[in-house]
């Protein structure tokens, strides 16, 4: 009987201790402002971390948006570089519409982390008591700081930005509503917090070489363009030689995050869940399709046509492809053996829509001769495209060149054709060798 009483007392004591531990945890949570996010979180979920609420806007990229503080009557808000939720680290890349609009009467201090790229409309509107704001990010643009984000703030607010961004950010913040005479924007040196790059392009990274090939065929017969050895030809017969190249997408542009306004059209990839800005307002899904074969940050491999689209009810952070306007000269040089001659005026250049050099799903479109010129120098046929960007709309398109040749009396049993491609990649010229092909004589 005594043992039963002791066991019961032990259980009561253990229960009381556990309750005290839990209560202490809750109290510490309140004091420290720490919230434990659920381990079962996914895209679209809102999690509470610290004194803020965050929406997971891309599980694939680990991006979240700061939605609002956990309490409306907050005095100080720090929007961090990252948060942890469900055992995963997420980058805080945007501030939602009206995020701190309801805290204007109490909010006195705000710090914006280095990963923030977009600020939603009216995010800080009516922050009448806000005395200081520190903006650590370098990613803000006029497009991505939305309507009235800084409208009707404290008349004497002081906003500190990175020294190198002072001139640019003055224009951005004033366009977003910071127009008071006594409101100040000043620059300062800040500790580098290693914020991520909004534009997924490293200017110091080596641009990969293009995919290239040569074959004994016309550009229309794309599947066998890499034929390395021909049927046998007699002297005087026309022998088509085709060369092709898929230029690296780094030559054409880069991906960046962009905030779509409420009511605007968007696409969501059914495979990775990323949101994309349509390239044109008239439901052109160019950027959505481009991400299937032009990787975003080396992660994308979405072989699917499943997508969701429509006008958004709120501002959304989307990916878009930004095409650069840098000229990219491209030169094919085809070297014929002594036993072969080039047929004058036979050069044709095409653009073709393909995923890679082995696939084919579109008819070649012949390019105007004003975009290229041909020079014959002895045994060399040189086809120069002054700016390949003029007629290749995006990285999904390849360039093909075709010439006509024939055997002459100096032809041997095997006649080797060589070729290379030289192109400008922003840091100078680079040359890539194509495969050789053999033209046989009976």
DSSP 217: S
DSSP 39: S
Condensed to tens digits (0 to 9), the pLDDT of residues 64-106 reads: 999 999 998 999 999 999 999 999 999 999 999 999 988 878 9
Alpha carbons 333 and 299: distance in angstroms, whole number: 35
The tokens for 166 are 């002072």
Q: How far is CA 360 from CA 82, 355, 357, 389, 398, in A?
A: 43, 8, 8, 21, 11
Condensed to tens digits (0 to 9), the pLDDT of residues 426-437 reads: 677 899 999 999
Residues 359 and 244: beta-carbon distance below 8 Å: no
Phi, psi (rounded to 5 degrees) for 7: -60, -45
- Helices marked H in 33-177 — which ranges? 166-175
Question: Quick one: pLDDT at residue 305?
Answer: 52
Residues 357 and 246: beta-carbon distance below 8 Å: yes
Please choose, from the candidates 283, 319, 322, the residue with its C-alpha nearest in 3D space to the C-alpha of residue 118: 319
Most confidently modeled range among 1-15, 18-32, 228-242, 374-388: 374-388
Element (H, E) at 184: strand 184-188
How much of the chain exceeds pLDDT 90, in percent?
48
The model carries a pTM of 0.74
Alpha carbons 54 and 65: distance in angstroms, whole number: 5
- C-alpha 162 chain-centroid distance: 24
Please name every residue paired with 52 in a beta bridge, in sequence order, or none if there are none: 49, 69
């Amino acid at each position: 009987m005594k043992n039963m009483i002791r066991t019961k007392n032990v259980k009561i004591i253990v229960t009381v201790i556990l309750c005290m531990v839990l209560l202490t945890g809750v109290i510490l949570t309140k004091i420290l402002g720490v919230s434990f996010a659920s381990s079962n979180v996914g895209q679209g979920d809102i999690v509470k971390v610290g004194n803020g609420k965050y929406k997971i806007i891309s599980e694939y990229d680990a991006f979240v948006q700061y939605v609002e503080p956990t309490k409306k009557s907050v005095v100080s808000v720090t929007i961090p570089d990252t948060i942890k939720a469900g055992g995963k680290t997420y980058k805080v890349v945007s501030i939602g519409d009206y995020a701190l609009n309801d805290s204007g009467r109490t909010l006195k201090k705000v710090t914006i982390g280095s990963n923030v790229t977009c600020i939603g409309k009216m995010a800080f509107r009516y922050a009448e008591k806000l005395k200081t704001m520190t903006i650590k990010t370098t990613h803000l643009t006029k497009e991505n700081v939305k309507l009235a984000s800084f409208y009707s703030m404290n008349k004497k607010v002081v906003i500190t930005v990175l020294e190198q961004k002072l001139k640019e950010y003055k224009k951005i913040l004033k366009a977003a509503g910071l127009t008071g005479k006594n409101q100040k924007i000043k620059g300062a040196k800040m500790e580098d917090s290693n914020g991520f790059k909004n534009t997924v392009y490293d200017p110091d990274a080596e641009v990969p070489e293009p995919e290239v090939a040569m074959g004994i065929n016309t550009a229309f017969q794309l599947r066998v363009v890499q034929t390395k050895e021909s049927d046998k030809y007699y002297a005087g017969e026309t022998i088509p030689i085709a060369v092709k190249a898929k230029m690296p997408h780094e030559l054409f542009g880069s991906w960046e995050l962009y905030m779509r306004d409420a009511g605007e059209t968007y696409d969501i990839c059914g495979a990775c869940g990323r949101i994309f800005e349509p390239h044109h307002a008239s439901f052109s899904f160019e950027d959505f399709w481009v991400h299937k074969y032009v990787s975003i940050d080396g992660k994308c491999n979405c072989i699917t046509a499943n997508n969701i689209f429509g006008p958004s009810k709120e501002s959304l952070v989307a990916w878009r492809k930004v095409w650069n306007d840098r000229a990219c000269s491209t030169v094919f040089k085809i070297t014929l053996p002594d036993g072969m001659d080039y047929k004058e005026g036979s050069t044709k250049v095409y653009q073709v829509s393909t995923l890679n050099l082995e696939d084919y799903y579109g008819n070649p479109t012949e390019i105007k001769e004003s975009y290229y010129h041909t020079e014959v120098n002895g045994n060399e046929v040189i086809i120069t495209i002054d700016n390949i960007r003029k007629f290749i709309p995006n990285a999904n398109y390849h360039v093909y060149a075709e010439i006509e040749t024939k055997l002459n009396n100096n032809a041997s049993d095997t006649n080797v054709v060589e070729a290379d491609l030289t192109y400008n990649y922003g840091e100078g010229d680079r040359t890539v060798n194509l495969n050789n092909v053999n033209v046989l004589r009976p």
